Each structure stands twice: as structure tokens, then as C-alpha cells.
A = this chain, B = another copy of it.
Amino acid sequence: MQTTRKPAPECPFEKRFPSQLLRDDTFFMTLAYNQAIDAWRRGEVPVGAVIEREGEIVALAHNTVENSRDPTAHAELLAITQAARALGDWRLEGCTLYVTKEPCPMCSGAVLMSRLKRVCYAVRDPKMGCLGGASDLNAIPTINHHLEISAGEIMEEDCRVLLQTFFRLKR
């Protein structure tokens, strides 16, 4: 079943160290960006996620699909599991997920099912994204939870260049 994969190229980007004093969307997205860089350094597609509640970080994760050989090990899903463990409840009410790209079908579903308050993502994904890109699960009227979405507003270019460079160098 194993396919031979070309090793990931070395990551030419560096992490950033924002001040902890201003905990705005850019602060949390910067931490998600740093997670994406960690993903790249471990040979994974560079996607990172952070979950915040009341100004505190409750989860930090990055994509580990290749290393864990687990198709469900996306940054968002790992962060949701981590946040639920930290909060002692699977209902992530009042939480915001920051993620460097628009969630895939699975992760878009997961943010709905875990009852997050808000999702803020950097890069839109018109091909696979399911929070406005290829489809919008948040718009299904029969689903009894809906999210606030901020799309493509925070660090869009940084996160896009990171992803595009990864795929360009990998080819």
C-alpha cells in the first residue's frame, strides 16, 4: 500500500515571535503559522491551527498525516481533540479556531460538530474548502449549529506563500 514519496524540501521560512501583550486575531494566527512551519520541518504539508478561549490558548497543533499515517490527523482535528481534553467537555462553546488554510470537508464538519463559536482562516481553498470555498457546510439549514467565519482576512499572504512554496519546491 505504501507509495514512495519524495522527501519534503527544507523549510526556508522562519517562525515569528509576536508580543504576548496584544492578543488579537493576528497574534493567534501567527501562532498557527508557527505550527505550520513545524509541520513543514517534519515533512508535512504546512498547515497549523490554534484554539483560543477568552484570550487563552487551549490547543496548538499541526498536520501530522504522513508521520502518523493517519488521514484524520489534520491540524484542526488534532486541535479540537486537544481543546476538548483541556476543557473537559466536547462542546467547545466560546472557542475560536485559527487555521492557516480553509478547512477541508472533514475539518469543516468537525468545527460544526464541536460547536465552536468562530473560525478564522487565512487562505481560501476553492477546490477542497468547505467553509465557503468548494462548499459551505455552515450554510446547511438543518444543521443545528452555526459559526462566525472570518475568511482570508488575517495573514492571508503569509500563509498562502508558505503553502505555495512548499508545493512548488516539492514538485
Contact = CB atoms under 8 A, between A and B. Distances in A.
Interface of A: 1-3, 65-66, 69-74, 77, 80-81, 84-85, 87-93, 104-110, 112-115, 126-128, 130, 134-135, 137, 140, 142-144
Contact of A112 (B106, B113, B140, B143): B106
A142 B66 CA distance: 23
Given A89-B1, A135-B140, A84 B108 contact: no
Contact of A109 (B90, B105, B115): B105
15 contacts: A1-B89, A3-B91, A69-B84, A69-B88, A71-B80, A71-B84, A71-B90, A71-B113, A105-B105, A105-B140, A105-B143, A106-B110, A109-B130, A127-B143, A135-B140
A79 B105 CA distance: 18
Contact of A113 (B88, B91, B104, B137): B104
Contacts of A105: 105, 108-110, 112-113, 130, 137, 140, 143
